[in-house]
Structure formats: C-alpha cells, structure tokens
Structure 1
Amino acid sequence: MRMLRLPFRFISAFPAFGLAMTMGMSHVVADNVAGRLPAGVIAIDQGWSDQEKSWWYTASQGSRLLPLEWMLALETEGSTAEAPEKFMSPENIERLGYLPNPPSVDNPLGLPVGFVIDHDKTRSADLMCDTFPATCDALTMRKPWIGLNCSACHTNEIEFGGKRFRVEGAATLADFQELEESLLRALKLTLSDRATFDRFARAVLKSDLTVESRAELEVQVEEQIAWQQLLEDKNKADVRYGRGRLDAQGHILNKVALITRQPDQIDTIRADAPASYPFIWNTSQQGKIQWNGIANNILKINILGRETDVGALVRNTSEVVGVFAHIETDRGKAWRGYDSSVRLDTMIGLERLLARLKSPRWPEDILPAIDWEKAARGEQHFESFKCASCHEPLAWDDLASPAKEKMDPIGEQQTDIFLACNTFLHASKSGNQAGQKIFAFTGERIGEMEFTRNLLVNTVVGAVVGKLDELAGGAFTDVFPSGRAGDAGTESSGIDFLPGVSDEIKKDQARQCLTAEHELLAYKARPLNGIWATAPYLHNGSVPTLYDLLLPAKVRNVWEGTALPPEPAGPTRPEVFAVGSRQFDPARVGFVITQDAGDDHFVFRVRDELSGEPIPGNYNSGHDYGTDALSEEERMELVEYLKTL
C-alpha cells in the first residue's frame, strides 16, 4: 500500500499526526474519522453529522494569511535554538485560544479548527502583485496558503464538572488580535535573528536551498511584514480586544481602505470597537445580519443551481475580504468583477450547511438539571417585562420560521455605541473606485472621499461578480442599506456625551451618532434560543453572565447637565472580569468570573485602570429595561427560564 510521505517538519509540528504517519495512511483514515472531536470532548446534538462538521472546520473561503510551508516552519518569538517552538505548535495555538482538530481525511496535518488550506495552482492565484512583487515572481501565490474560515471564530467549548463539550456556531474565546500581532512579531524575529532565519529557510526551501533562493525568500518575508504592518497600523487602537472579541467591521473597512492603494489615507476612525462574535445558528432566518444590520438577508436567488441568500453571501464575502483574502480593486471596475481569492461556491455551501444548524439545548446530562417550576415562574417575569417584544421565541429545532429580530436605535438601547458609530462615520479616499456606481451597476457615484462602507459595497459586489458575472447588479441594492447616509446630527444643547470621558474626539463622534438618524445606528435583538451558551453578553461582550445582565450599569452614554450621573443603588454589573476560562457557572449562566489574568486569560475593564475613565468601546450599559427592580429570587427565576430556550 502506498504511504503518504510528508516532510519531517510537518510531523514534528503535530505530534499526533507524526505518530499516525508511522502506522501508514490507511490507519489514519480508519481511526481518525472526519469530524471526530479531540479525546474527552463531548458532542451535543445540533443537527450536523461528523462529516458535515469536518467540512465546516476545513473548507477554504479564500483566506490567505501566509504560505503553508512558511506557517509550519515559523517559530514563536520566544523560540530558541535550544528550545525551538513552532508558531503552529499545539501549545501556542492553545495559548491563543483556538481549538484543536484531530488529524483526519479532511485534515491530514491536524490543523486547528478553522485553520484551512487554500491552494490555487493557476494564474488566477497571482493577486496583489503590486504589493507582493517578489512573492508573485517566485510563484509562491500558486502554492498552498493557510488562512481562516468562519469556524475558527464561531466554535466554542465549555467545561463543567470535569467534562468538556463543544458548541457549534457559538463565539470563540480565542484572541484574534494577539494571533495577528504575535504572528507579525514572529515574522520580524525570523529576519532579525539570523539563526532563526537559517532554520526557517532550511525548512521552507529544503533541497532548493541556494544563496539566491535564500535571498529571494528573505525579500518575500519582508513583503509580508510590510503588508501586515500596514494592517496593524491601520487597525491600531488603545482599547484591547482580548479573548472572544474582534472589531470585525473596523478590520474589514480598514482593509477596504488599504486596498484602494492610497498612501495618505486619513485615520479618523480606528478599529477600536471590539464586538463579541455573534452566535450564528438561525442566521439564514434573520432579515438583518451583523450586530448593526449592515446588510439585509431577505433576497434569495439561484446561484450555481442552488437557492442562495444573497445577504449571507455578502456577509461571508465581506468577512473573507477582511480576514486575509487577496483582492484587487485597482485594476478594474466592479461591474466587470474584481480579481480575488474568494471561493464563492464554498461560501454558498457553507451557508447552506449553516442553515441546518440547530441551537444548542441545555445538556442536562452534563450540566445541573433545570428546575422547571422555577423556570415557569421565570417565564412569567419574561412576559411581564415584555422581553418577547424584542426577542420573539424560536424553538431550538425550528430552521424555517422567520427570526423576526428587531433593530433598536443606539440612543434607545444606551449600550456602547461605537461599533455602529464607527461604521457610520468611517471615511476613506476611494482611489480607483472613485466615479464608479456604489452597487457597480446602479446607485450613486462614489466620490474622491467616500464613506468606507460604500467602498465595501463596491468591493463585495465586484468580488462576487468577478467569480460569477451572472448576478444582476440590482440584487445587491436589495441587500445593502441605501448607499448615502444622512448627515451626522448636530443638536446637542445641554447634553454631556460620554460623561466622565476626556477624549474630545470620541465625545464628538458620540454626539454625531447619537443625534443622527440612520438605519445603521442600531443594534439587533434576536430570538434567545441557545443564549445560555453564548457568554459574555451584549454586542461587545461586556457582561459576563445572564444574571449580571439583569443588573443596572454605572456608565452612561449621555447625561443632561454638568454633574456626572448618579450611580444606581444596589448591585450593579461587574466592571472588571477575566475572559478566557471555559469553566461554566450554571447558576448565573456564563463563565466563572475571576479578576485574575493567567496566561490564557484577558482582563476586561469598563474603566481605565489608571485614570478611572470609562473606555469607549467597553461600556457595559444598555439592555436595562427595569429588571433591576427584580428581587434576587425573581432574578434567579428569570435566569432559570433563559436556560430552557
């Protein structure tokens, strides 16, 4: 029987795979069934087969972070010749919070969940050659690359009583920001430390190692460092995201701004509004997608013989553009299509698979049993506070009914405004997109300076058309909100925006957004089925448990008058807690609260540790509809009911 032969560096980086290789590939196939979870991790029924899970974990959407051989050879910044550690080692991946995925037919290298291989051997892979000329000349673009797909950020595991179970579609507890930053530091170390570069070059080039090839590789690494430094500088913000959060819209808009190739971009809006990754079951049943409803999800058309939600396709295309896709908008027009690495067919397949994902039910064989009489009393509180007016019930296995989510204006919710506000205000020079129609085929013309969300619309339409020119341009006008936004508001007499904050720029941005009216200046309330498995809570992950969500917050977005607003009487939401532990608190419903930041934890803070000022982006206010009037017993009854959803 023919054995699969792989370089030793693959085997040493993934010990389980190395052991399997000593037994032959047939044993790997037989004993490592696609979709099998790591030892000790329990699967709960959400409607997917093992094979469907495996594809979800390994299918490429077109994300291209680094060439695969580079990634496997790259060492962590703390690595030494005496104690080398690969960046993709299980220890480093665990530190970053991503989940292991055992070797299988779909995942022979044992890459973590959502770390996927993208390989295009054709000339269509030669993208962004103005940015990566040496990389294109070496045909490295046509080699396998490693990137991320949606499962990396939308899969989680929970621990209780010595047991650990996986929840598909829930928010990761990984630290995406540290992944990017530590990767850039590792690349810089590879060039600055010649012994490290020597090990890297030997591992990548193998028998092709020569003086010339080594020098060419060094130039290619320099190109990647320069590009990733541009991204880091553009996204740089004072607020740390930490575990389980990412300013995805900020990253996407900044990526779009950079690919217009305008060197003197303005930086009025930073990626400083981190959001919790949304849970994604029932996504196809929602009319609005993303926390601020940036795209509609209501139009279905036939693509590649499949009925497809165009809104979902827009969301996924936006995601892969922001998370490492290669794309060119400077060499064409959107209506002719932009060249990109986006995998349209795969994204359609992933969305169809996601439409079959059921929400998780409280596993009474793992977690303490629900007190159903207590939950019945909690349901009465749910009704008396009219919670269903925003969160209409949806059964855990209902994959057909409309979700009937509601968009609440940010001024009414009083929660942190900056995810919606930054998207509303973000502007960039438009480069090659200037003069084009926003929706490629229709809509207003793009100006020399433009709202970046309109450049995103043009980019996404062009990327999709570039892969499938049968789409009518009019389809996208039904998906995106109207291209032009109303003017930011100005009326603010006697109102203190962000009381207690000294940053006048953030206060002015708050004024503009809280006094304006636009459909993007709102956050989505959706059915709460499976909510028990999605901590931390609120759109920005600022509240650790459901119990705490029923308490009032101290911070406020606005206050009339010069004095600071009074603090609520009685218990309030915690303003400091660690994120990263998977240990579950079944009473309060969320992860166990500590204030200790271990190696795998991040301390979330509502206020700056030194100045005591509230941190824009980290406000834990909002969703306060009088539940602070509940007694302790009534509060626990309502929490008990939420477990049943």
Structure 2
Amino acid sequence: MKLSVYATLGAAALLLSACAEPPQPPRPVPVKPPVEINGLWYLDQGWSDDARQWYYNTTQGSQIMRYDWFMALEDPQTGQPFVKSIPRYGYAAGTASGWNPNLLPVGFVKDTDPDKTEWFGMTCAACHTGDVTVNGKTMRIDGAVTTGDLYGFISGLSAAVHATVTSDAAFQPFATRVLGATATDQQKLALYNGLKAFDQSFATFVKDSTPDTPWGSMRTDAFGMIFNRVSVIDLNIPKNNRPPNAPVSYPYLWDAPHQPKVQWNGLLPNTTAFDALGRNAGEVLGVFGKVTLKPPADAAHYYYASTVRGTNLVDMENQLRKLRSPVWPDSLAGSVDIVKAAAGETLYKDNCESCHAILPRGETYSTAPIKMVSLFDWAQPDNAAAVLAAFNTICTKGVDAAVADKSISINYGADPKMAVDALCRTVDTGAIANVAMPPQLLGGTPLKNPDLAANLLSNAVIGAVFGDLVREPKLLMALLKGDDAPAPWLTASAPAGWAPESQTKGGTLDTTPLVKPGVKGTADHQKVIAALTGRGQVKPTVGAVPAGNRTVSALAKAQPTVSSKTTATKTATSADEALAAKIKELMAYKARPLDGVWATAPYMHNGSVPNLYEMLLPASQRSAAFRMGSTAIDPVKVGVDSASPAATFVYDTSKPGNRNTGHEFGAGLTDAQRWQLLEYLKTL
C-alpha cells in the first residue's frame, strides 16, 4: 500500500526530531516565497502585480456618489478627506502606483459615463480582498474575506454628507474644493441643492438598509441588500423594503468560478460564461449599480438601461479563474507540524473529504466539486404536496412552526435564515409586472404581482445584460472567447495615463435597438439569448398548490412539457413534483473545497464561528460571543484573533441570523485528533 507523502515525511520528522531545523511541510507543487511590496506581503496565488492592480482598480459600474463631490467631502469626525476614512471601516488601504493615482482604497474606483460624468463606486475587490496579519506582518490575500464594515461605511458617508449640507462652515470649503475659488453664488446654490437632494435620498437608503442586528465587519446580507436595491430604489416602491437581517460571511473567491453553483445556498447556476455574467451583474446592482426598470418601449428596444460594465465583468471573471488559493506561509506564520498534519490527513479523508473535495494545487481543473448539505429532513420527502405545505409553513410562520407541526426536522442545524429569506421573500413588481425577460417568445416568464424577489432580480439582471450587449458590442466576443482572451491589463498603458473607467462604455441606453425591427436577430444575439433563456428566472407553476401560497406558486423552475392528451391533474402533479424537488434542493448550504481555508475566518455561512478549532467542537462548546474586525489571526486555533485591540465588534450568536449551530462533524473526535486535523487544514 502506497504511503501518503504526509505519513512518509511524518515518520522522517520523528527520526530527525533532534535536528535544529525542522523539515518543511510537503507542498504539491513548488510555491514561490512571499514577496513584500509597499510594506505588504503577497503570497503566490498565480497573479502578477499588474494583474492584481488592474483587478483592484477597474470599474464594474457601481455609482455611489459624484466623484468630485466624494473626493471633496470631509469626515466630520476627523476633519480629513472622507476617502482617507474608508480604511477606518475595515477596507484594505490602497497602495501607491500608476494604477491608483488618487490612492483610493482597494476596490473603490472611478466610473465614467459617456457624458463624462464621473462617479465614485465599488468593485468586488472591495469585499473580496483580505489583509491577514500574523507575527506583526500583514499579508494581502487576493480573493479573501474583507474586514470591511459595509453598514458602517454607508452610514458614515451619510453622516458626512449631512454634516456638509447642514453647516455653512462645512459647505463653503466643500464648494470651493468642488467648484474652485472663483465660483459664483449661483453655482454654489446649484451645488448645494444637488448635494441636499443626494443627502435626503442616501439617508433614506441607509435607514432602509439598517439591520435589526448589526452585521459588523466581514459580513453583509447580500440578498437582502440587492432585493431592497432593485425592488425599493430601482422600482421606487418603498413598501417593498425589508430590514436586511440575514447576514453572511463574504465567500472567498478562489475556486468560485469553477463551482457548478454559487451563493451559499447554491441558488444560481454557474456552468457557462453567461451564468457568471448574470451573477456578477446582480452583484453590481447590489452595490450601487443603477438600472432603469420600466417596460420596454417595443421589441426593438427590449432591455433595461443600466450602468453594468459587462466587458469588465467578463474580464474580471476570467482573471479569477486563474486565481489560486494561498498556501500557509511558514516563513511568516510559523511552520506546520508535519507529524500532526500526517495524522490529520487520514482524519480528513475519513471525516471531511466526502463533502469538502481536495483540489490538487499542481493540477489544472475546470470544476471545483461542491456538495449541498440539506438544512432539513422532510417528514414526507416523496410527497410533493406535503413538501409544498411544509414550505408554505416555513415561509409564512417560520421554521420553528414547521418543526412544531412535524412537517420537517432539523438536519444540518445551521442558521437557516439566509436560505429561507432568499426563497420566501415576495415583492410588488410595480411598473414591470407582466414583463418577461427574456421575452415570452424566447422562453421568458412574465413577472407576477407580487412575485418572488429572486424573480424580480433575475428579470432586472437579464434586462441589464441585454442592454449591455447593445451598448458594448465587444461584450459578446468577450463571452465567446472566455479566458482565452488577452489579459486586459496588457492593453492598458499603466502607469502612464491609464484610466480604468475608459475601458468600457457605460451609461444610459435610449436609442440602439437590440435587433432591427421585424428581424429576429443576428446569429450572435440569438446565441446570447438562447444561453440566457431559462438560466435565471424561476418560472411559475400552474399546478395545484396550497391556497394562498404565492411563494410556492412562483417558485417552480419550469412548467413541464406535456402532450395534448395529458390531463390537468397529471400536469399539476408533475409541476408540483418538480417544485418540491427544487425546494428541497435549495433549502441547503454549500460545502466547498477547503484549500486556503486558513485565510478565510470567520467560519460557517454567517461567520458565526471564530476559528477552525471551534468548527471541530460540538456547537454547545463554541464561543457564544467573540470579538472580530481585526486583520490579526490566531495562528494556533487558526481564525480571528479576538484578543486584538482592533477587534472591536462583538458577535453575539444569540441574535437572529447569528446562530453558530450546525457542522458538528468533528464532535466525535478526541481533542488530540482535532489538533491533528487542524494542522492538516493549514496545508490545503
């Protein structure tokens, strides 16, 4: 029997234990040593510094505030430019380079419309770039979890704007910075009125985005924020707002483009470039991207105007496909204990690998296997009507009520709020009720009123992507080329004169038809439409469902194809069975490969467990509360360093959405085995 490399080297370590220099842990492929740039340490993740800086500083279409206004804004707490306060909210500070002439924090960029209006916005790098500090040295991990506090940032920005419009002593120097010293009173008055209008609208947005339980750093209710943004702001229907109370930890991005499903509950397919574009366009709309939701004027203009920069999103996704996980840096964090890691490898294979696949770092892969772990056991899993009735109880009365009536029992045990909110929330669809994206003749399903928030978001995303295809002809070719396309940063002249916002057109859409009137469309457009059709929107079923259950009636993936001889009863039964299967599939959380997991604390989908050691404990023995928010990690238990002075946010697991239950697969291990498994996890 062939011994594993860990077992072999573990035995050698025992023989050489008297040596002054312990052997280094085995690596599947050679790993370049950490590199220090501008005081930060970067690990070998397969990206060059140019690739990294391009990714940090390229717009995706987010527009928070006029760029000149933002850069002129002062933080009333510090008296300094507000842009310098962003790292105070936990976001990674930018480094000096030609790619970032204004020294913006990582993932905060300028976006320029065709009319040359400049905006300040975010990219995915803001939330998925993490600084990790150990032994006094800070590593910048690409694709890792930010320590950013999104609510803290937007509420702080709102306070700074309000302080500026409510004090002439604050407004006058602001106006001088924006307009210049020779500005007229009329110009200042126009600026004041514009800033006051922004103050009112942004304050409303912040109020409506206030969770009942603070998220703190490293987390946000992504679905809740996106649903509110599209249904409340873009549709202008305030009654659609719900407090975003199901926060999740930001997922790490290496391997993510290779997973067949994305989101913690596997809600979105991720098998084609079109799937990825739709998912990323939805992310843009959730972080201040703009979309105009109104019924298309005619078949020739069948799309929604948006600021989504599709070509940049495709380029970013292609680059992420090349991102590799960070290998535990022995020179910075301390050497792995090979003997324990050798024993831990066997424990991993026996206890973990069935859910968390191992991705050999030295091999090329196109799929990162995942496993969906069901949240519930259904009392009658083969009875579609019983599953639909249980789901109706979950959505209308809550999970506890469904447990009480014994229609479900708890299986995995993790906090279910995120999965439940994603599937159950309904909204008024307002002006675009009855609009199908794509059009019905291409397989689209009209929105009902009310309808699932997920359906509304899907409708908005597909319409925005169609609009981007009109605005940017290169987008189609970028989608078809995939990651064989030239690296975008090679076509930019950095550092001299490089302007990320100039790479992709953007702005309003008003005249260009998707296809010529009376023509079905070019072959390329038909490819895009065919690829998008059916991949996003969840189509309603016409089957028999519990009375009054709008959520259930809206959730079915597709109406089954039936012959003209099929009875209505059989049709309803088939539709119900398909719907029940989909509900069971989505009431689950994703288990993914754990390469680089050491750099991704806190753990569980909602960030409720501070370190990997506690992930191996029974839930009853985990921390009921802990501090987080610091970049410092505990290299022993591997996770957030709650003792760090910078860890100021107290995570309370008793709050709704914050439960730390579930994942008790290490509960039966001895403590010695937990430490062995922990040491092996460092090597993934």
Q: Give the shorter-chain TM-score range.
A: 0.7 to 0.9
Partners of 1:636 and 1:577 in 2: CA distance: 21
464 and 206 in structure 1: CA distance in 2 versus 1, 3 angstrom threshold: same
- Work out whether residues 262 and 429 of structure 1, in 8 Å CA contact, stay in contact via their aligned partners in 2: no
In structure 1, distance between residues paired with 2:365 and 2:81: 45
Which aligned pairs between 1:252-401 and structure 2 lie closer than 5 A?
A: 252-267=226-241, 269-299=242-272, 309-330=273-294, 332=296, 336-385=302-351, 387-401=352-366
SS of residue paired to 2:346: helix
The separation in 2 between residues aligned to 1:550 and 1:274, in whole angstroms, is: 23
From the superposition, tell whether residues 644 and 600 of structure 1 become closer, same or farther in structure 2 (CA, over 3 Å).
Answer: closer
Q: How far is 1:260 from its partner?
A: 4.7
**Post-superposition offset of 1:515:** 13
Match of 2:583 in 1: 517
In structure 2, distance between residues paired with 1:397 and 1:176: 36
Distance 2:182 2:590 in 1: 54
SS at match of 2:451: strand
Q: What corresponds to 1:495 in structure 2?
A: none
In 2, Cα distance between equivalents of 1:290 and 1:121: 33
Residue in structure 1 matched with residue 613 of structure 2 by the alignment: 547
> Identical aligned pairs, as a percentage?
36
Unaligned 5+ residue runs, structure 1?
Answer: 1-35, 123-141, 300-308, 492-513, 555-571, 608-614
After TM superposition, give the deviation of residue 207 of structure 1 in Å: 4.6
Contact 1:154–1:277 at 8 Å: present in 2 too? Answer: yes
* Residue equivalent to 1:5: none
CA distance in 2, matches of 1:73, 1:473: 43
Cα pair distance change 1:272/1:159, threshold 3 Å: same
Match of 1:194 in 2: 168
The C-alpha deviation readout for 1:423-458, integer Å capped at 9, x for no partner, is 112211112221112544423321121111101111
Deviation of the 1:584 alpha carbon? 2.0
* Helix, strand or coil at the partner of 1:473: helix
Quote the Cα distance in structure 2 between the aligned partners of 1:166 and 1:148: 18
Aligned partner of residue 280 in structure 1, secondary structure: coil
SS at match of 1:482: coil
> In structure 2, how many angstroms separate the alpha carbons of the residues matched to 1:429 and 1:283?
32
Q: Tell me: CA distance 1:207–1:520, structure 2 relative to 1, closer, same or farther (3 Å).
A: farther
For 1:405, the equivalent position in structure 2 comes to 370
Q: 1:518 to 1:213 in 2, by over 3 A?
A: farther
CA 617–104 in structure 1, closer or farther in 2 if over 3 Å, else same: same
Return the TM-score normalized by structure 2: 0.73
Task: Give 1:519 deviation, angstroms.
Answer: 3.3
| 2:45–2:325 CA contact under 8 A, matched in 1 | yes
Change (3 A) 1:357 1:324: same
> Closer, same or farther in 2 for the Cα pair 1:225/1:644, shift >3 Å?
same
* SS across alignment from 1:388: coil
Amino acid aligned to 2:94: N
1:30-54: CA deviations, max 9, x gaps?
xxxxxx9763211110000111001
Corresponding residue for 1:604? 651
| Alpha-carbon distance change, 331 to 227 in structure 1, aligned in 2, over 3 angstroms | farther
Unaligned runs of 5+ in 2: 1-34, 377-410, 470-513, 515-524, 550-579
Question: Which is richer in helix?
Answer: 2
Give a deviation string over 1:261-303, Cα, whole Å, max 9, x none.
Answer: 3435244x4211111100000122100011111210112xxxx
Change (3 A) 1:408 1:477: farther
Q: How does 1:517-536 map to 2 (within 5 A)?
A: 517-536=583-602
TM-score (norm 1): 0.77
Which residue in the other structure is 1:237 paired with? 211
Selected match of 1:573 from 596, 602, 622: 622
User: Equivalent of 1:110, from 103, 110, 125?
Assistant: 103
Asked if the contact 2:269/2:535 (under 8 Å) is kept, the reply is yes
- Establish whether residue 480 from structure 1 lines up as the match of residue 536 from structure 2: yes
Indicate how the Cα distance of structure 1 residues 490 and 445 shifts in structure 2: closer, same or farther if over 3 A, else same: closer
How far apart are residue 624 of structure 1 and its match?
1.4
Residue 477 of structure 1: CA displacement? 3.8
Structure 1 CA distance for aligned equivalents of residues 104 and 69 of structure 2: 14
CA–CA distance in structure 1, aligned partners of residues 648 and 372 of structure 2 = 33
The residue identity in structure 2 corresponding to 1:278 is P
Distance 2:41 2:430 in 1: 50
Match for residue 670 of structure 2 among 627, 631, 635: 631
What residue identity is the alignment partner of 2:359? L
Instruction: Please tell me whether residue 178 in structure 1 is matched to residue 227 in structure 2.
Output: no
Distance (Å, rounded) in 1 between the aligned partners of 2:582 and 2:290: 35
Between structure 1 and structure 2, the one with the greater Rg is 2
* 1:413-562 equivalence runs, <5 A: 413-440=412-439, 441-468=442-469, 469=514, 470=525, 472-480=528-536, 482-484=538-540, 517-554=583-620
After alignment, is 390-399 or 198-207 more displaced?
390-399
Number of residue pairs the alignment of both structures matches: 526
Alignment partners' CA distance in 2, 1:322 and 1:212: 36
**Distance in structure 2 (CA, Å) of the matches to 1:380 and 1:416:** 30
1:39 counterpart residue number: 38
- The one-letter code matched in structure 1 to 2:419 is A
In structure 1, the partner of 2:134 is 160
AA of the residue aligned to 1:373: V
> Over aligned residues, Cα RMSD in angstroms?
2.5
Distance change (3 Å), C-alpha of 1:532 and 1:413 = same
CA distance in 1, matches of 2:681, 2:547: 38
Tell whether the 8 Å contact from 2:445 to 2:539 is kept in structure 1 after alignment.
yes
Instruction: Specify the alignment match of 2:679 in structure 1.
Output: 640
Please report how far the alpha carbon of residue 399 of structure 1 lies from its aligned counterpart in structure 2 after TM superposition: 4.6
Match of 2:384 in 1: none
- Whole-angstrom distance in 2 between the partners of 1:449 and 1:617: 25
- Residue matched to 1:4: none
Deviation string 1:59-103 (CA, Å, 9 cap, x unpaired) is: 000111111111111111325xxxx222112xx223111112222
What amino acid is the match of 2:531? A
Q: Which has the higher contact order (CA 8 A, sep 6+)?
A: 2
Alpha-carbon spacing, 1:46–1:339, altered in 2? closer, same or farther (3 Å) = same
- Contact 1:438–1:483, Cα closer than 8 Å, also in 2: no
